[in-house]
Structure 1
């Protein structure tokens, strides 16, 4: 289908902390590359984003800091927006879900679904903290575990015995915020019956998007659909959020994952009076750029909402990246283990493209990747500077030295096979980069640009114009070769600026200034041409495009990470909130000392997960088939909110092999998978560092 316009959204960042480079690599940089390319193609494109400013973590943070939720979102909205601006993320609008337009739009959306009978109204009793005047999410409820009597089990899991729990199962539940006893209060909420949209979603995704979407996106969606969808509450009890627009619904707000994606619509309304053309016309291509933790909301819940409402286009693609780790460890906001964008911009002024380059070249497009400061230094110095920067600088230096600072003639009659091969490479690069960006393979596209610069370096070295200039007896003949070589190198430089522009816009602009050309030369239609710089046109003097990253800068950044971790850990120990964390997960209390004989009773074995599937009507449980070497065991594990079934197939795990069998949801579980949990609540497999035989004993 030929699309008349493009609507591109990037996930709304949560306004209770700054953005880190994992956020950039996950969706904002890929989205910006895609949009800049569309603009260069002169297509009608709108780039939409804004702060997600509602939800429980924001209210909890406000409580802990003694400020209002509005204070929290005002502070971080500014920091986040400035960070995006500083990195050249070129949104057409960066809005907020706390503004009046969003309130009006999301309430109207909810009311339309309500009037159409799309919701199911249900009353239930939920735990309530009277001191803090707030209904509590499971993770902010603690109590005594009914299985092992651990007095500090969470409302969703016991860290001591590993049992998956619900708040109702805890003995003497209390608030993790105030430590006060809880009461149960009846509350009414409106549920969206996702199960009624299973057939629509299966037809749209499983049949229609299987060959178009990235495998990680399609696989996660199919897993959810195969496990069966359940109704989800679309309202919450809170004083912070978009009020439910119904009589008698005082103290109730829209669920943050109901109102947040509607923020894309309300932001477009703020941007243009023609917003409906972008959201309601079938010839619009809607693309959501997100991280993998948001797949289910953008591919299942939001499309089902749009379908129920009617009149809106559905996303053509939802390219989601995996996670970016830092120095071998997962990003942890509560432990301050992150590279914050606002701090990077202070430490490395005018080095935006250095970070853009590294994050794209190392993008976690198909699997989690790792950012290290040493790799950052190596890529900038050995690729960006030594290949691209080196070629551009050599071309300018030699042009001034051998051609009097002007673009020399081409002398078509004296061209050879090397010249024609370079011209073919220039034209071919345009096609390769174009196909890569259109296919959301941005890392591949950037690699093609660098490879073209590498070919330019080889061409320059093979021709060696500096050597030709040293033979005055063949001056006329050699000058023709010098002119041809330098002419093509300068035309290649102009093409590199065009191809680089979506990826490294600051560098492309700098190159244009040195070539004394207007920005419209960067239009995509000009790529592949070898007449971009006119003969005899004077160019500016050489100037390095990139500076090298020094060892002491890298050392300082690694030390900064370690120092931040040390301070954050100390603050957590002292029960003080860190300045950059999201709503922190309460730390598990240290367990009582045991003897070696106690430990020796535990039979720990290595196993490999060979099959995984969601347990019906249990959002938190996965049914695993684990190869233990001499047998295959069924183990039920409460990790479904952290891992999609398809991403853990083949994973080696440590298993408590002699744990007494226990039935969970009618399935007998024979063992327990060992997991670690970060302070921010993320689960991590406890796996052997090297591959081990299934059934091997862990000692």
Structure 2
């Protein structure tokens, strides 16, 4: 039987709206999955809102995501295998032009299709990034951490995430394609936990060297994440797999150790930070060590490694690294003495909608003869 609706059920509309479409990487042109799966639905919605709110009250933005490991890796292979002699910026710009031409051929009505590393959006993108990072630092939510990063001694360079491959250390994960700090199934871990790492540049086993970077204090928001995840679980519009996957990352910080290492573990247990041991049940082949937080768990890594104890990490919130030690990226202002680092701003982040919208407004102001200030 059809539901009965009243005037109170009618949707309300904002005065203005920003519509965004997920940004494709700048390492290739667009295929029909990009156009039909991403841009056509967004274009449909933007056209609907323009009709509803007025053309001048809707901005439809998107663009090429100019940064990221896939771009750097594709560029490296093109140079080494095919003798490509242009810069990475020129490589990205050529792919951006191909993408823009495809969207134009399909009559996708973006107000701007920019590029995060290309002008005129690049300068605004950099300014927005610096502004957000400085505000986060003022609020005490980002800070410096010295961690280990893979270094290829034969190639003489630090390796980005996709230039190292190994096996995922997260318990229960079967991925054989894990990178420096994340596997292809989305599990995140510390670089030193990666099993059997290999440099994709030379095939050598890379070294781990200490570097300084900026990290966002994600564990500080554990209670917020638990509350938010519980709300998602009650929302009929959200698939249960979403909330269940998020719940897995809100568990206590744990390490899983195979029973065959029990004697070695007992020999160094008194050197470990505060922890509790959960003995294996039934025929389980491993026991569980639980720590108050990720800090104690990470401090335990060196103790266990020196004692010859192999372990796997459980899922838990850890500080999220937001900078890297590579040249191709968005420049980051010096914070806590960390300088000469960059960051990659993903399409699903807040950066792109803000920076591209500012680009549209700046472009329109210039066209109207309005000067800054």
TM-score under structure 2 length normalisation: 0.60
1:13 is aligned to 2:24? yes
Deviation at 1:226, TM superposition (A): 5.2
Which residue of structure 1 lines up, in the alignment, with residue 92 of structure 2? 73
* Partner Cα separation in structure 2 for residue 268 and residue 260 of structure 1: 14
Unaligned runs of 5+ in 1: 147-152, 158-163, 276-699
1:683-694 equivalences under 5 Å are: none
The alignment partner of 1:70 has SS state of helix
* Partner Cα separation in structure 2 for residue 236 and residue 145 of structure 1: 21
Q: Summarize the Cα distance change of 1:206–1:104 in structure 2 as closer, same or farther, 3 Å threshold.
A: same
* Partner Cα separation in structure 2 for residue 259 and residue 245 of structure 1: 22
Which residue of structure 2 lines up, in the alignment, with residue 196 of structure 1? 220
- CA-to-aligned-CA distance 1:155-183 (integer Å, 9 cap, x gap): 559xxxxxx99864678854111224422
Contact 1:233 1:255 in 2 (8 A): no
Deviates more, 1:29-38 or 1:173-182: 173-182
* Partner Cα separation in structure 1 for residue 156 and residue 221 of structure 2: 36
Deviation at 1:203, TM superposition (A): 4.7
1:102 is aligned to 2:128? no
- CA-to-aligned-CA distance 1:424-483 (integer Å, 9 cap, x gap): xxxxxxxxxxxxxxxxxxxxxxxxxxxxxxxxxxxxxxxxxxxxxxxxxxxxxxxxxxxx
* Partner Cα separation in structure 2 for residue 267 and residue 145 of structure 1: 36
Q: Please, which of 33, 43, 49 is the counterpart of residue 32 of structure 1?
A: 43
Which residue of structure 2 lines up, in the alignment, with residue 184 of structure 1? 208
* Partner Cα separation in structure 2 for residue 206 and residue 268 of structure 1: 33
Which residue of structure 2 lines up, in the alignment, with residue 263 of structure 1? 352
Root mean square deviation of aligned Cα: 3.5
Unaligned runs of 5+ in 2: 1-11, 80-85, 170-175, 181-187, 251-316, 365-373
The alignment partner of 2:130 has SS state of helix
Q: Summarize the Cα distance change of 1:52–1:231 in structure 2 as closer, same or farther, 3 Å threshold.
A: same
Which residue of structure 2 lines up, in the alignment, with residue 46 of structure 1? 59
The alignment partner of 2:140 has SS state of coil
Which residue of structure 2 lines up, in the alignment, with residue 234 of structure 1? 322
Q: Summarize the Cα distance change of 1:172–1:225 in structure 2 as closer, same or farther, 3 Å threshold.
A: closer
- CA-to-aligned-CA distance 1:257-312 (integer Å, 9 cap, x gap): 3995402101100111699xxxxxxxxxxxxxxxxxxxxxxxxxxxxxxxxxxxxx
Q: Please, which of 111, 125, 132 is the counterpart of residue 134 of structure 2?
A: 111
The alignment partner of 1:50 has SS state of strand
* Partner Cα separation in structure 2 for residue 131 and residue 74 of structure 1: 31
Which residue of structure 1 lines up, in the alignment, with residue 111 of structure 2? 92
Q: Summarize the Cα distance change of 1:124–1:210 in structure 2 as closer, same or farther, 3 Å threshold.
A: same
Contact 2:67 2:329 in 1 (8 A): yes
* Partner Cα separation in structure 1 for residue 234 and residue 142 of structure 2: 30
The alignment partner of 2:20 has SS state of strand
Deviation at 1:132, TM superposition (A): 4.2
* Partner Cα separation in structure 2 for residue 105 and residue 60 of structure 1: 27
1:123 is aligned to 2:129? no
Which residue of structure 2 lines up, in the alignment, with residue 140 of structure 1? 163
- CA-to-aligned-CA distance 1:119-177 (integer Å, 9 cap, x gap): 1421111211245454335653357999xxxxxx76559xxxxxx99864678854111
Which residue of structure 2 lines up, in the alignment, with residue 695 of structure 1? none
Deviation at 1:207, TM superposition (A): 3.0
Q: Summarize the Cα distance change of 1:205–1:8 in structure 2 as closer, same or farther, 3 Å threshold.
A: farther
Contact 2:198 2:205 in 1 (8 A): yes
Deviation at 1:74, TM superposition (A): 0.7
Contact 2:73 2:162 in 1 (8 A): no
* Partner Cα separation in structure 1 for residue 132 and residue 233 of structure 2: 26
The alignment partner of 1:57 has SS state of helix
1:210-359 equivalences under 5 Å are: 211=235, 213=237, 215-216=238-239, 219-221=241-243, 223-225=245-247, 227-228=249-250, 229-246=317-334, 248-257=337-346, 261-272=350-361
Contact 1:236 1:252 in 2 (8 A): yes
Contact 2:327 2:342 in 1 (8 A): yes
Which residue of structure 1 lines up, in the alignment, with residue 15 of structure 2? 4
Contact 1:138 1:154 in 2 (8 A): no
Deviates more, 1:258-267 or 1:25-34: 258-267
- CA-to-aligned-CA distance 1:541-578 (integer Å, 9 cap, x gap): xxxxxxxxxxxxxxxxxxxxxxxxxxxxxxxxxxxxxx
Q: Summarize the Cα distance change of 1:58–1:250 in structure 2 as closer, same or farther, 3 Å threshold.
A: farther
Q: Summarize the Cα distance change of 1:240–1:259 in structure 2 as closer, same or farther, 3 Å threshold.
A: farther
